[in-house]
Amino acid sequence: MEHRIIDQQLDLLRDKILLLGGATEAAVNRAMQALVERDSELAKKVLDEDKIIDQMELEIDQMSIEILALQQPAAHDLRFVISVAKITPILERIADHASSIADAAIVLNNEPQIKNYVDFPIMAKTAAEMLRSALDAFTSEDSQLSREVIKRDKEIDSSYKRVFNELLEMMIDNPQSTTGAAHLLFVAKHLERIGDYVKDICELNVYLTEAAFIKHSKHS
């Protein structure tokens, strides 16, 4: 009976982390849509919905603590709960980056557009796809998929370097573009950080499935 109870609780925990992941992915996509379409109302919606994501994080944290305290899981089950406890704040941080992009969108939407935004939705699409695949890998316990997702972070890093150099050159050539270019640099950096956080989720999945640690990505 006790075994069945913990299985039910772990299934519920898995469902909750997927809901949080879905909300986080949606936040990234909507924040980018708000930027590209110059839709400040949508950006404000992203900021409002961040409170819901924060509440979801708290609920998962509480449930993880209760399972650890009351069910005392072992071996794989213990690694699963620990992984969830570590992934939850990562997802919340990704959502915070989406909120920061939404904040930047509100500012940029009130300024003349200084460049084509084509690079940013590509970076955001890659980040969102990586996040979805990372969560799929976590729920299916597919460490190989996790390793493949980690490799995709190079795509975001490459785009970030290209955008950084382009915007830096723009600020040098046209000082009047400095404010807008600086906000776009922040947007690019937020997307680059999201890619790093997705890598961390994948590394935790490798820990879950293989009980092995692989190198953490750097944080700034």
pTM reported for the whole predicted model: 0.92
Q: Give the count of beta carbons closer than 10 Å to the beta carbon of residue 12.
A: 12
What is the tens place of the pLDDT at every residue in 124-158?
Answer: 999 999 999 999 999 999 999 999 999 999 999 99
What is the tens place of the pLDDT at every residue in 5-35?
Answer: 888 999 999 999 999 999 999 999 999 999 9
d(CA 126, CA 33): 14
Mean pLDDT estimate for the chain? 93
d(CA 182, CA 80): 40
Q: What is the pLDDT of residue 215?
A: 67
Q: What is the pLDDT of residue 213?
A: 76
Task: Domains for the chain: give ranges and CATH numbers.
Answer: 2-210 (1.20.58.220)
User: Under a CB-based contact definition with an 8 Å cutoff, are residues 149 and 137 in contact?
Assistant: yes
d(CA 162, CA 146): 26
Residue 212 pLDDT level (bands cut at 50, 70, 90):
confident
d(CA 182, CA 188): 10
H helix intervals, 39-177: 40-70, 75-108, 119-140, 143-173
On the question of pLDDT at 79 being above 70, the answer is: yes
User: Under a CB-based contact definition with an 8 Å cutoff, are residues 109 and 64 in contact?
Assistant: no
- First-last CA distance in the chain: 46
